[in-house]
Structure 1
Amino acid sequence: MNHGFVAVGCATPPMHLANCQENARESFELMRKADSAGVKVLVLPELGLTGYTCGDLFYQDTLLQGAIDGLDTVLQATKHLDVVTCIGLPLQHKGKLYNVCAVIQKGRILGLVPKTHLPNYSEFYEKRHFTPAFAGLETVELLGQSVPFGTGITFACKDLPALVLGVELCEDLWAPISPSLHLACAGATVICNQSASNDIIGKEPYRRQLIAMQSAKLLCGYIYTSAGEGESTSDVVFGAHQVVAENGTILHQSRYDQGLHITEIDVARLVYERRRTQLLPTEQASITIPFSLPMTKTALTRYVAAQPFVPQGKEHRNQRCHEILMTASLGLKQRLIHTHAATAVVGLSGGLDSTLAILITALAFQMMGKPMEEIIAVTMPCFGTTNRTKSNAVVLAEQLGATLRTVDISSSVRSHFKDIGHNMDDHSVTFENGQARERTQVLMDVANQTGGIVIGTGDLSELALGWCTYNGDHMSMYAVNTSIPKTLVRHLVDYLAQDKRQTHLALTTVLEDILDTPVSPELLPAVNGEIAQITEDLVGPYELHDFYLYYLLRWGFAPSKILRLAEYALGNVYSRDVMVKWIKVFYRRFFSQQFKRNCLPDGPKVGSVALSPRGDWRMPSDAQSRLWLEEAEAL
């Protein structure tokens, strides 16, 4: 449970209809199995001690007493288990019958929650037997225990305050105003739903979407378990649908597969999102019942993307690439119209970032119906420029139909170094940044000369690390790549390289060669005509930095939790020592380089993570990194 991960389980035992003792046995055996597997919260199906389809047998005192005896059997058999379990039974109270979820742990009934919304249409006729939940809270005596009985109950873990459980039953989820809405507003971070939802054509995807949407709306985890084999098939069939969702994402789904299914909900992540968005109003629970759990380490089985900015699956990735390119090019289009820009000036290096910038510019020009020759592509070779990148820049500009201008800045940089007394053999930061600033000056002046604006090429990953020259490539008049991380830049360029609507053979060929070129600022002299300066050798793998950046900004995770996830997702690629080395570099650079981000030019936000000082990330330039680095150093 450290780092906020809680192992949760869905379990659909074989149903022995109206045989309460046999159902009790199936239930406690699954509870034992779940507990031994480290599960902390387990949800069993609706009316699991009797079966959902007992019909008019629910009128029989024998069945009702059998359910209570079955519950007693479960409590006695599991009195030493930590797992908090939702188990269903019919319960008579004040002459009325309720469809109830009993929340139990260590032989204790923590609370009883009745079903609020009873379906009474089509194949459902629950109001024939059951009464909807009453308002308020009462106490009932059951099996020698005084137990809270009613709706609005939350169950809070004393050892992990972020874990607060709420319960609703089946149809409650489908109601316009569901109990889970009020439970979430009362602090519940995980909603447990025991259900008996039959299977008909089209119902499964609708049910899954409903669960995902509920977890997204309420910023919660949602554990859903439905009835399966053994229920009566006289008129309907139950498929043991089990779903676990977290904030709109399906973590686990199974169907026609009875037994125990386990995944993990990150309750710390949910609490962070609620704190960040402040979307949920505050309500008071009817009562909050405490329980304790041992703070053990939760083994991770849930999916964690190695590249969280990059969608999985080609179709999904292509759809996302199209959306990003449309967003960025629409933003640029509006800026060009608003500024009455005659041209767009792009510094073209032959690298990935400047390639993406000019491709986005070309898309914006297509939208506007502007001639491509009004894109001014400027190549500015200097000491580190290789023939490969220079020729790729030339071919790219030509294939796009842009106006190509080559400005060799070598002599002006030498003159500048002479003016400030810098030795040409001193390849320090002055040597590198002098070239970057000279290039920016050229671009700005060309923009003035042609009545245009300079299009920025720097990406989100570079801005996070401060891997840009202040008042050099750091500056532009509109930065189209500003919220696109490096791991995604490659996929965007590849998408356009393969998009036959946008490219033809010659353009595809040069884009593929650019994709194959090592990432480099080319600010140090080439060696035998080859690139001498590989960015990732200097600042670390962008794959790691983008992973760290995503979980730092999007979820506010601490270094130790980020490293744990990195090991889980990327441990087959990088060793722990390598990850620790670069996470320290990441935090040092992220904090020390904020001054560059606090004066960024405008640029379109395309994803959930961005660093604009006017939008997503407001951080003082003088913020100290000590707390984060101390934790990183301890790793």
Structure 2
Amino acid sequence: MKEAMASVFCVSGCTLNQWALDFTGNYRRILESIKRAKAAGSKFRSGPELEIPGYGCADHFFENDTELHSWEVLAKLLDDPTTFDIICDVGMAVQHQGVLYNVRVIFLNKKILLIRPKMILCDDGNYRESRWFTPWCRPKVVEDFSLPPMVARITEQSRVPFGDALLETRDSVIGFEICEELWNPDSTNVDACLAGAEIIFNSSGSYHELRKRDLIRDLVTSASLKSACVYVFSNLRGCDGERVYYQGLSNISMNGKFLAVGRQFGLDEVEIVTAKFFVEDIRAKRATFRSRGIASASTCTYPRVKADTYLVSAIGGLANSAIEWPEMDAEEEIAKGPACWLWDYLRRSGQGGFFLPLSGGVDSASVATIAYSMCSMIDEAIRAGSQEVLADLRMVIGDQKYVPPEENGAKHICQKLLFTCYMGTENSSGTTKAAASSLAAQIGSNHQNIIIDTAVKAIIAIFVAVIGGRIPKFQAHGGTPREDLALQNVQARIRMLLSYLFAQLMLWVKDRPGGLLVLATGNVDEALRGYLTKYDCSSGDINPIGSISKTDLKSFLKYSVDKFNLTALSCILDAPPTAELTPLKDGQVVQTDEADMGMTYAELSTFGRLRKQLCCGPLAMYLRMTAEDPSARPADVAKKVKHFFKMYSINRHKTTILTPAYHAESYSPDDNRFDHRPFLYNPQWKWQFKSIDRYVSQMTLPTNPRALLSSGSLSRKPELV
């Protein structure tokens, strides 16, 4: 192990933008990453989780085709000279003895060294791994695996090791983790390092959530510091066909210090992080880490497989110096994450751009700004020499000779990709119309101003003719709440109908092929409360802000005023949020969102956090809110909590049809996979609300319901409700 003192090792991790079931593209990107790793002098290349089939295959993992094509891709990789003289670690799904596993396949020079299955699966958040895979339940055990003939012919191996083992090269020992194994309290890297592993490779599929990036920093640095090792974290990046965006940030850490960190967001499909380091620094750290030495000496034997190669850099060079973790505010995450997700979806959908109903409010302005951020990133990538991004842009707009101009390139690209439309009615204000036009001019979108009153009146006229002459009225004109709501919803739904008409025909008008994707504009707080019209502009093909709070969107727009020089956003931020669906009074808007909802956006964020993140029902939410704000009147808190749960319940049907949205917030009510709840509620919540009433009347403010149970406060016979 100590043949070459002060020798520089070189290893690489990869960030890949893979696409579920795109075996051709996935193979091309994997091969390119291996080429780049070798060019950097690396002797070990590790990629992200399930990189061959794509992480988001979902129930396609049940299909034999998915595994078959994965083996075919692996066979091509094994047989390609590009993969020679470097240890390659790739991810796929493999069936062993009738059980499907999420595995890493480690190979060198046409020989498979080890197939290492995932031992701890992830089933929280948007993950459902145990639906398709089984964890390897035999730590430190290796079995024989029979290779399929197509691979055996290339490797000249009939059986290879399958299980939990370390890889021993001629100069070091390597261990493996797969994503969730790092997050778990009993991380597998600990035993591996105690058994002698000096380098840990983690292959991950970690998606973006706002403010999550520092969690990766803490987990990786803690692992490399506590285990005294080099830790290589390789992650997916991009939209591979799901509502999530995998966030990159591949990195390499040694003894608690970062040696290399990749970008979190970017348009490049392949990115390499490479580090050169002295392995003696690990051994010196372990020699002085006395309690670790005792634990290591008492650990169980770990099986090892041998690789007849060295990890010493193929081209030499200096070892990496430690670097700082790059910080990023939530506003920048909103500017870049959803923008990259939109670009991936657009270029992979075969459509020619986006259509956005631009109302002049915060939500639609946020979507427009994110789209403009996307165009800015495209322009920056092309200026940096990315032929891949330029080729994708030309394909989308249908012009194989297009090159954005040197000046105002992002604005010119936006003119090609984003079509916006202000759909006014007699209830719309001049302020919002001006704001929408000003913003569209600053970002360069194709913009239209239209009036939809004729269509609204035509729909109402059909109803009046059918029911015999009764004319519904707004409350401001003497109508009932039912009439008022129906008239508001007609306006909102006609906007969606027109959005799809324009989206399908605007490129036809301009003699361009394809159609436009309709961008929805509902935020996470309004979805949670159900404050939206079913099938209005909260509906669309995709929604970049559907999991972002109004509070964060406002902060993002403030950031964008300076970042993108979009001064039109200032007046949008100053105006109170309003749907503009009821009659004006003296030319001014009288309807506001917060008054209609009966709660503020800040309160909605609190309700969302307590409901989802802290798993609070009505009683627990009331108790938590009174504990967090002792100055609040218990009766007021109770009223707000009851109103929230009532409105959440009666509007639950809206949540089930929300437009597929970018996942960014951990209290999202997305019904697809993230937040599984009943479809039909009793909105009276009789038992729960009466429990709240008892505490209001008693002015009792315990901190949580578990404390009540343990103290016996709820042990008396409950009243029937």
Radius of gyration: which is bigger?
1
Q: When the two structures are superposed, what TM-score results if normalisation uses the length of structure 2?
A: 0.43
TM-score (norm 1): 0.48
